[in-house]
Structure 1
């Protein structure tokens, strides 16, 4: 497992794209992490037209943190949902996302992004991803690469180049409409990329350093534990119709990921 220094190197030149971007962040009990995400967003060289934080029934200070940000920045908004009683990853996240999306007319935007509330990223991230779209009209969805922060550095999370990250997933609105949005199930962030390619669009995640996003907690640990997250991944593969032998091969390949052995 390789590690790298937790930093974001800026590109030599980036020009403003002038595009309209809607960002929606479904969050629940993210008080320990949300402020860092807000700080990263406020520091962007190109900010979204609107960033809607959808609080999905948090029991901690998450909505207060979001409300304070909305009071300081007119492009940040907060929408609060009733408490469903427990965190529901996968389908629940997309239900919260869709409730936020229903408040907008997508015709008013060029790009849309689903963003987690526990990330950190450098100031050129949004501008750089919009430039990827501008450079390739066939690009339907995109992201940077994701890293887990650890005591020994930042560990890159495996993401195929032909997939975009669920944690920070950008879409061209035209493509997003054609795939019918996100499926409210576990593995929604894989299904959408398959659907994207089936319709002739490209799905990409780019390794450029200034596009990286950093998880403030281990990926898959937001609900119960990392091990529970691995079982959830297995159900998602079943839901997508993945062949059992292929799933077993992935499990064997990922036994070298943290937590060791059970990571697969």
Structure 2
């Protein structure tokens, strides 16, 4: 099985070498890497060129700088990288971040997992961050969800779900849609991926506004959005936080902002969320 690995990168000259070195030293060598330089103003392109000059498996696509919006920017860069290649030549489509360090057996283990389990559609490891000079589990998501920085899709699954969506919440939408198509999302907990910097640290959007927009672009109906908002507010024990999230969500609704998912996909997502709610909260 051959990998196509797309890596969006914006001003990652300090982190990107770690990512590319970890790929260079993979035990599995059958891959093509496309680093998408998304309007970098630092030495990112020089880093890319250094690897491309030495190894033909490393290539690049250069874009003008796009607006730094959670979700849409990185997916737009990913899609540009994908369009530069012929997908028919590959079996596994990966979206990796430019600030991760993969264990040497990462690609080999992912490949073996796909080969042994035909129902697997999305596979990835667990993210670890550095804390007090030790690498610890990030813990921002449950251990059954493949996080955005290290997605590996079986090509047939990726095509059936019509790729990933250029929107906030894309890395949850994909999991819901592929599951509805009969594929499985699987986390290989033995694969520890080091995350060099904290995700979202360079976003300017405020947390409450983020959640409101996230719930809207995920396609949640008002009832489920309000439930989700209350859950986030309870974590911070703040009624005002709940109100701010709802205001953000309702602002998006009133503006009728474009969703990147179809009406049918919205139904699928809301049905999945409702089933989760019944199972976890209502014990039904």
TM-score > 0.5, shorter chain as reference: yes
Equivalence map 1:117-136=2 (5 Å)? 117-136=98-117
Structure 1 residue 204: deviation in Å?
Answer: 1.5
- The Cα offsets for residues 81-106 of structure 1, whole Å up to 9 and x where unpaired, read as 1223x433311111111111111221
Identify which of structures 1 and 2 has the higher relative contact order when contacts are C-alpha pairs closer than 8 Å and 6+ apart: 1
Report how far residue 152 of structure 1 moved: 4.4
Partners of 2:37 and 2:61 within 8 A in 1: yes
In the other structure, the counterpart of 1:220 is 200
Find the partner of 1:109 among 90, 102, 114.
90
Question: Which of 149, 165, 173 is residue 130 of structure 2 equivalent to?
Answer: 149
Change in Cα spacing, 1:254 to 1:198, as seen in structure 2 (3 Å) is farther
What displacement does 1:133 show? 1.0
What secondary structure does 2:93 align onto?
strand
Stretches of structure 1 that go unaligned for 5 or more consecutive residues are 1-18, 256-264
How many angstroms does 1:254 deviate by?
Answer: 7.8
Residue pair 2:16, 2:98 contacting (<8 A) in 1 also: yes
Please report how far the alpha carbon of residue 223 of structure 1 lies from its aligned counterpart in structure 2 after TM superposition.
2.9
Matches within 5 A, 1:1-264: 19-84=1-66, 86-158=67-139, 159-208=141-190, 211-224=191-204, 228=206, 231-240=209-218, 241=220, 242-250=224-232, 252-253=234-235
Distance 1:231 1:45 in 2: 43
Q: What stretches of structure 1 move > 6 A for 4+ residues in a row?
A: none
SS at match of 1:235: helix
Q: Which string of whole-angstrom CA distances, capped at 9 and with x for unpartnered residues, describes residues 158-196 of structure 1? A: 333442221010000000000000110011010000001
Whether the 8 Å CA contact 1:186–1:233 is kept in 2: the answer is: no
Q: Work out whether residues 187 and 233 of structure 1, in 8 Å CA contact, stay in contact via their aligned partners in 2.
A: no
| 1:162–1:202 Cα contact (<8 Å) kept | no
Moved more, 238-247 or 37-46: 238-247
Higher helix fraction: Structure 1 or Structure 2? 2
Q: CA deviation at 1:123?
A: 0.4
Q: Structure 1 residue 142: deviation in Å?
A: 0.9
| Residue aligning to 2:241 | none
CA distance in structure 1 between the aligned counterparts of 2:110 and 2:207, rounded to whole angstroms: 28
Q: CA RMSD in A?
A: 2.0
2: distance between equivalents of 1:168 and 1:231? 26
Cα distance in 2 for partners of 1:147, 1:251 equals: 26
CA displacement at 1:238 relative to structure 2: 3.0
TM-score norm. by structure 2 comes to 0.76
Contact 2:211 2:229 in 1 (8 A): no
CA contact (8 A) 2:169 2:214 kept: yes
